[in-house]
Amino acid sequence: MDLTRRTLSAALPALAASRARAAPKRKRPLAIAHRGASGERPEHTLMGYRLAIAEGADFIEPDLVPTRDGHLVVRHEPEIGGTTDVAKHPEFASRKTTKVIDGEKLTGWFTHDFTLQELKTLRARERLPQLRPSSARFDGLEAIPTYQEMLDLAKAESRRVGRPIGTYPEMKHPTYFASIGLPLEHRLLDALRRNGLDSRTAPVFVQCFEVGALKTFRTLSKAPLIQLVQTTGGPADAPNLSYREMTGAAGLRQVAAYADGIGPEWPMVVPVIDGSLGPATPLVAEAHAKGLAVHPWTVRAENAFLPAKLRRGASPAEHGDVDALYSALYATGIDGLFSDFTALNVAARDRYLAAWKR
């Protein structure tokens, strides 16, 4: 095991071989850059990942979807009308179509209708230009990256900054992609193996909202796995199961049989009550008791994404009192936190650590 892996192994929470019943001691929570520095640069771009690393990210997060010829590319969804300039390419006008993915009807352009070479002619753009006009200034500067290009960036940046940079890939809509002959699990496994990342201590977490894909991946790979959950609904591949059930005592026990942690939507950890932050739920303690790490998602600084009483100013794009949210989440003993604003996340994490050690 090289120095990078030893260093990261020491930092990864709740991944020891024995899963103690008692809640683990608090360690340095991981700062996870959600789609890169996506509050400051167009999401899922190499420039955004570089900025997040410069701001102190421990992990950078890609969402993975396939191309028609089977490459894994980094986009939040397979529909790319909102995150690229594809609508301005007349040669692809006929590719606009309507598909049903996980029961939702979507109209636009989809990565799996393009080859990688065709996708590389497109340029990324800001998904929320009204809220993030400063990020929109970087529209058109970069192409859609592949997961391999992102892994290469993480390796290069790890060497440059002298600390390990991990990746945190999400398998998007695996049941749907399997149904059209483009399954994700083996493609991701191949990428991890090619890059020496198929181990318990590798700088990687594999996440998914679906259950079956994670269970399948557990049989294929030693990489740490995270079950994503949210406040409403349930896994697309388990229509009779809700995410709320999965985060109850029995549900967490079942998750612990195949995953190493959970990624809950942040109000499942610190709920919003009457427009303000309420007392923490027992989710973190209960997950830790089952040997599961807890990595909530996603803290954003703009008023549009904050509880009413944390908003400041009149504009949805202005930043509110996001520090109050960071502080409340870190106080619960979480093991990592997704944010669109890595510098703010790292500063809040470091304040929490300094206060906790006193």
**Catalytic residue check, 34:** yes
319 is catalytic: no
Distance, in Å, from the CA atom of 7 to the CA atom of 4, rounded to the nearest integer, reads: 5
Sheet holding 30-33, edge to edge: 166-167, 59-60, 30-33, 336-339
Query: Of 305, 298, 306, 307, nearest to 340 (Cα)?
Result: 298
Token pair 């079950």 is at which residue? Answer: 227
CB-based burial label for 126 (10 Å; 0-12, 13-18, 19+): buried
Q: How far apart are CA 143 and CA 140, in angstroms?
A: 8
Cβ atoms of residues 19 and 155 within 8 Å:
no
Q: What is the DSSP code (8-state) at residue 282?
A: S
Instruction: Count other Cβ atoms within 10 Å, centred on residue 270.
Output: 24
How far apart, in Å, are the Cα atoms of 22 and each of 25, 258, 286, 332? 9, 19, 10, 15
Tokens 């993030």 correspond to: 132
**In this structure, are residues 349 and 29 in contact, taking their beta carbons and an 8 Å threshold?**
yes
Candidates 44, 76, 112, 173; catalytic one: 76
Q: Which amino acid is at 208?
A: C
Q: Which of 126, 153, 157 is nearest to 139 (CA)?
A: 126
Distance (Å, whole) CA 34 – CA 50: 13
Catalytic residues: 34, 76
